[in-house]
């Protein structure tokens, strides 16, 4: 901490986008980069062993430990909101599922004022960031930092899930990250050679080998702004406050929770809220902290009549063997997240691209690993992709160490309830297909007697869980739009030398898990900062020709 804390570019947050930014901004050796990160090391099997992913998600050592305010439409339930507090950010504690999002998601961004972020504009960045193992030729990257693989799918239940989708009349797809997202097929993972392939492993470690990149430990208290220009970041470490100076720009990449909070602590946000906290207003941007979105999901669980599920491996002895094999060989059940089959489907006729996502798991267990069914079972994680519900982030205190107030306002639209009831009934239809006949026992959850709209609504209210995909709180849009926080070059409107680059800039949530589009934002942000761009790619996308008449 005694060395001069100054660089051309200062990045706040070593997460999915921040690591990609550090790698690209420093690539040609011309620019110096400092990455500020409060979290500690990602070394050790709890993070690097894929099957252990539910453990660090529940550890304050690796997670900020955030939770929502009581959610008014879920009976006052308080839901966990994990965010990575570790090198790699949430890419070091997530489920390692890789989903780009649908092409129409990004076209919608462009239509909402994010010029230059249509699918043709972002596709080159997705291809640049990845090395795809088994993806569709011509659509996938072959030499990027992020390795993406498919699981081995040796358990017959994975094939049963895909076959059940086909039997029910749905599409199949060999690569949902290629030309055709819609359908049942293999799920992709950010796992490489048996290890979690986080943004830290893919981007930050190679970047830190360069002489022009430094990692500085510290808690970002506020952005230093002089004459409406960001000049640095005040950080705190070991009860000492210092300023990390930026000769060119500050880039905030601290998550959809922490990025808006840092802006507000720095005087950028809704003026009345800031004044009520005693914070001097630098830029009145009413959109800061608004537009909060997430994906919710349910776990539809079924008993398995054959002893082939992961239940056999949940005892301590079996876990010890899995761990030992992974430590020695980096293979076996420790080298997968067990999400190896997936689906993206449409909920009804008239919906032109998928709005429901499935993760399939050959076990009946909660995502956080805290509760497993006392029997062999399997489950589908299912949820709608494009809820209209919107929440917000608010400062709880002018003290930057105080956690912000998080309100997702989940299930605030009637359509949310209708969509989830459909998801439950659709999943039951899938589990009733011939492909599952050799395996299906009794329904564990919700239970076969839960059939009426009222009973299903009660189950949804009690059991719906976050998929941990927060985004949207520093919305990107036209600079003249008062609800925009950043312009399409990710520059904070009203402040020079300051950008935001992470999932907080999403105008609307994308289909599926958010790690891939967050990394893409970091990649594209680096090019905006350096004044360059990759040529757009026009490739023909598959859209179901029956979308007006049928859901399948």
Pairing mode, strands 268-269 and 283-284: parallel
Cβ–Cβ under 8 Å, residues 97 and 494: no
Cβ–Cβ under 8 Å, residues 359 and 512: no
Q: What is the dihedral of CA 123, 128, 134, 137, to 10 degrees?
A: 60
CA distance 199 to 190: 9
- Report which secondary-structure segment, H or E, holds 453: helix 453-463
Tokens, residue 487: 């312009």
CA distance 57 to 64: 9
CA distance 225 to 419: 45
Residue 78 in marked binding region: no
Residue 113 in marked binding region: no
Beta strands in 183-328 (DSSP E): 183-186, 188-189, 191-192, 195-196, 213-217, 219-226, 229-237, 240-252, 268-269, 283-284, 296-304
CA distance 15 to 18: 5
If DSSP codes are grouped into helix, strand and coil, which group holds residue 405?
A: strand
For 388, 415, 492, the CA distances from 551, given in Å and listed in that order, are 20, 17, 41
Residue 224 in marked binding region: no
Ramachandran angles phi, psi of 486, nearest 5°: -125, 150
Residue 10 in marked binding region: no
Question: What is 515-540 written as a DSSP string?
Answer: HHHHHHHHHHHHHHHHT--PPP---P
Pairing mode, strands 6-12 and 240-252: parallel
* Residues paired with residue 457 on neighbouring β-strands, in sequence order: none
Active-site pick, 147, 265, 381, 469 = 469
Contacts of 467 (CB under 8 A, 6+ apart): 294, 295, 296, 297, 381, 383, 513
CA distance 278 to 272: 10
* Residue among 5, 23, 1, 4 at smallest CA distance from 14: 23
Cβ–Cβ under 8 Å, residues 259 and 266: no
The question of whether 413 is a catalytic residue gets the answer no
Residue 94 in marked binding region: yes
Catalytic residues: 469
The annotation places the binding site for FAD at: 86, 94-97
The annotation places the binding site at: 86, 94-97
């Amino acid at each position: 901490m005694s060395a001069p804390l100054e660089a051309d570019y200062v990045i706040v947050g070593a997460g999915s986008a921040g690591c990609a930014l550090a790698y690209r901004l420093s690539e040609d050796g011309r620019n110096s980069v400092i990455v500020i990160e409060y979290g500690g090391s990602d070394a050790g099997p709890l993070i690097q062993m894929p099957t252990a992913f539910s453990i660090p998600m529940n550890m304050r050592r690796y997670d900020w430990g955030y939770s929502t305010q009581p959610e008014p439409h879920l009976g006052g339930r308080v839901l966990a909101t994990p965010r990575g507090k570790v090198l790699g950010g949430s890419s070091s504690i997530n489920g390692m599922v890789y989903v780009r999002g649908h092409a129409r998601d990004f076209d919608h961004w462009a239509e909402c004022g994010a010029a230059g972020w249509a699918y043709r504009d972002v596709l080159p960045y997705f291809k640049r960031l990845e090395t795809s193992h088994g993806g569709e030729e011509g659509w996938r990257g072959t030499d990027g930092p992020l390795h993406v693989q498919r699981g081995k799918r040796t358990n017959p239940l994975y094939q049963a899930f895909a076959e059940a989708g086909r039997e029910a009349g749905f599409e199949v797809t060999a690569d949902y990250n290629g030309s055709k997202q819609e359908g049942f097929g293999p799920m992709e993972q950010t796992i490489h050679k048996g290890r979690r392939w986080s943004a830290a492993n893919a981007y930050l470690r190679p970047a830190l080998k360069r002489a022009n990149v430094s990692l500085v430990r510290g808690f970002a208290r506020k952005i230093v702004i002089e004459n409406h220009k960001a000049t640095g970041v005040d950080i705190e470490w070991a009860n000492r406050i210092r300023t990390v100076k930026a000769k060119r720009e500050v880039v905030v990449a601290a998550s959809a929770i922490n990025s808006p909070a840092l802006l507000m602590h720095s005087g950028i946000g809704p003026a009345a809220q800031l004044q009520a906290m005693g914070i001097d207003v630098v830029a009145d941007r009413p959109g800061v902290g608004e537009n909060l979105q997430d994906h919710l999901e349910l776990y539809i669980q079924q008993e398995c009549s054959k002893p082939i599920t992961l239940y056999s491996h949940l005892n301590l002895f079996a876990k010890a063997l899995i761990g030992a094999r992974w430590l020695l060989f980096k293979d076996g059940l420790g080298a997968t997240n067990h999400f190896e089959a997936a689906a993206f489907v449409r909920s009804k006729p008239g919906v032109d691209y998928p709005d429901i996502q499935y993760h399939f798991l050959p076990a009946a267990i909660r995502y956080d690993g805290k509760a497993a069914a006392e029997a062999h079972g399997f489950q589908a994680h299912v949820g709608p992709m494009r809820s209209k519900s919107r929440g917000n982030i608010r400062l709880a205190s002018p003290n930057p160490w105080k956690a912000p107030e998080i309100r997702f306002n989940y299930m605030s639209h009637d359509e949310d309830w209708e969509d989830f009831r459909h998801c439950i009934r659709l999943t039951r239809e899938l589990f009733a297909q011939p492909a599952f006949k050799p395996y299906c026992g009794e329904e564990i959850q919700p239970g076969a007697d839960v059939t009426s709209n009222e009973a299903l609504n009660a189950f949804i209210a009690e059991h719906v869980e976050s998929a941990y995909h927060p985004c949207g709180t520093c919305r990107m849009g036209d600079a003249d739009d008062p609800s925009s926080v950043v312009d399409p070059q990710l520059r904070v409107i009203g402040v020079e030398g300051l950008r935001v680059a992470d999932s907080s800039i999403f105008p609307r949530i994308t289909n599926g898990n958010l790690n891939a589009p967050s990394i893409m934002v970091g990649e594209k942000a680096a090019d905006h900062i350096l004044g360059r761009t990759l040529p757009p790619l026009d490739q023909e996308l598959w859209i179901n020709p029956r979308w007006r008449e049928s859901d399948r």
